[in-house]
Structure 1
Amino acid sequence: VNDQDFARIHRAHLDYHVVVFRDQRITPEQQIAFSRRFGVLQIHVLKQFLLAGHPEILIVSNIIENGQSVGLGDAGKFWHSDLSYKELPSLGSMLHAQELPSEGGDTLFADMHKAWDALPEALRKAVEGRSAAHSYTARYSETKFEGNWRPTLTPEQLAQVAEVVHPIVRTHPETGRKALFVSEGFTTRIVGLP
């Protein structure tokens, strides 16, 4: 992708938050190179589900081979913002579907800028300036995930996903737009509230 085309893609991402490129045949190397144009890539804590030779790519799959999950099978069980549980959350995520069922397999997105815009003024005032805790492990063993194998995290993995605190309302550094930064999946509490 040349610089001019990338600038258009980047602008579309800022404006619409989701950009879809249909029917693309790309290699893992190409996906990683394209992803790096947006910034530094983060490596997911579940090392056992990273693509061999390409740790920047997390395999999300419900396929079982030889009694073992080939990828993270429950990635979409609840609303979440990818890697909000990290000290430096990701700008976003890139998905490249390899195999999809004829029905289902959907990935849904929520515009948290619009969520902020839609809040009543009193609620905006109540949450602005507050922070919320985010934790990868808080819901890790819930029965909601029954039927999906989740590996036991090592002490090193647990250290990578220690609870972090982020503002409930974040301002995008390029657009200046405010957005809510909370989710059902990883937000565990509002700091300072019982």
Structure 2
Amino acid sequence: MKVQYQDNQRMGVVVYDFNYKTASDGDIEDLKQLIYEYKIVVIKEQDLSPDEYCDFGYRLGEVEKYYQPMYHHPEREEIFVSSNVSENGQQVGVPKTGKFWHADYAFMPRPFAFSMVYPQILPSKERGTYFINMSKVYQSLPDDLKAIANQSSCYHSVRRFFKIRPGDVYRPISEILDEIERVTPPAKHPTAFIHPVTGETILYITEGFTYRIDDLEGKPQDINVLQRFLTHSGQLDKSFKYPLIEHHEFELGDVRIWDNRSLVHCAHYAANSEPAITFRLTLHDSYPFYQL
């Protein structure tokens, strides 16, 4: 395994000459430590079948399939498929997923440690992901917001970006909303928590899922407080020029793994409708998601 380090101003490392089949347990542990330390690891020149991709994921952690079957790969349900390509007249996966700031599964009681993405078909340009390191956001907060973050909890819900399924077409929206609240009730997490491996403090707020902040007594904070957190993090900057936002491009053969505790991300799609297919695995590690 050869590691190419980025400059100090940019997250991530690039790994060459890595084969999960021949990697030792120590190599796998080294790879995980790179993810924790550098937040994003890009493993180059991979050529993996769906089964091999899943086997690689299981070497890194506990793979959990997405809770909605319409996202599942037809051969391996662990694989979440983002695709605008039909196969034999049938839609496989869901098009244009994640086009908003979020951390994967923040709306669930047990979010994931790692997100692992493997593009299959890429458009000719404008295909990648925007990232924000929320530990850096926390460090840069003004004192009043940092105090609120340290003494509050947030509620997160999928309701704003829930994808309507083909079978929902003739259902009343009130019925769909009731189902969302029943199947995925809002999840409560600390507004700021300590990363169990790095010891960094993470601001755990996303534009896509976070809708309420409560103080320690359970009293909701003014909605303007949430807007201040989001503005300070850069998640409300529609130009994506905010200093803490990084854009990372994809290339075929890349397997990109990132620290889902520390980062929020937003998919970047081309303005045209060129074919695009990406596979994703989501993994738990051996640590609790956060320390208080």
Alignment TM class, shorter chain as reference: 0.7 to 0.9
State which of 176, 194, 198 in structure 2 corresponds to 1:171: 194
Match of residue 51 from structure 1: 73
Q: Deviations over 1:78-113 (max 9, x none)?
A: 110011111100112100000000111212221111
Higher strand share: 2
Structure 1, unaligned stretches of length 5 or more? 142-149
Change over 3 Å in CA distance of 1:74–1:5 after alignment to 2 = same
Displacement after TM superposition at 1:34 (Å) = 2.2
- Superposed structure 1 runs of 4+ greater than 6 Å apart: 153-157
1:76–1:107 Cα contact (<8 Å) kept:
no
How many pairs does the alignment contain? 186
Quick one: structure 1 residues 109 and 25, their matched pair in 2 at CA, closer, same or farther if it must change by over 3 Å?
same
1:135 aligns with 2:157: yes
Question: 1:77, 1:70 → 2: CA distance?
Answer: 18
1:166 positional shift: 0.7
**Cα distance in structure 2, aligned partners of 1:43 and 1:126:** 34
Structure 2 residue identity aligned to 1:162: P
C-alpha RMSD of the superposition: 2.3
What code does the residue aligned with 1:118 have?
S
What is the CA distance between 1:124 and its match in structure 2? 0.6
* Distance of 2:90 and 2:141 partners within structure 1: 44
User: How much does 1:139 deviate?
Assistant: 3.6
Kindly indicate whether the alpha-carbon contact (under 8 Å) linking 1:85 and 1:161 is maintained by their aligned counterparts in 2. yes
The amino acid of 1:179's aligned partner reads I
TM-score (norm 1): 0.85
Residue 107 of structure 2: aligned partner: 85
Greater RCO (Cα-Cα under 8 Å, separation 6 or more): 2
Indicate the residue corresponding to 1:119 in structure 2: 141
Q: 1:188 aligns with which of 204, 207, 211?
A: 211
TM-score of the aligned structures, taking structure 2 as reference length: 0.58
Distance in 2 (alpha carbons) for counterparts of 1:13 and 1:98: 22
Any gaps of 5 or more consecutive residues in structure 2? 1-22, 169-175, 215-219, 223-292
Q: 1: distance between equivalents of 2:221 and 2:178?
A: 30
2:77 aligned counterpart, secondary structure: strand
Contact 1:60 1:72 in 2 (8 A): yes
Bigger Cα Rg: 2
* Structure 2 counterparts to residues 25-104 of structure 1, below 5 A: 25-64=47-86, 69-104=91-126
User: By how many angstroms is 1:154 displaced?
Assistant: 10
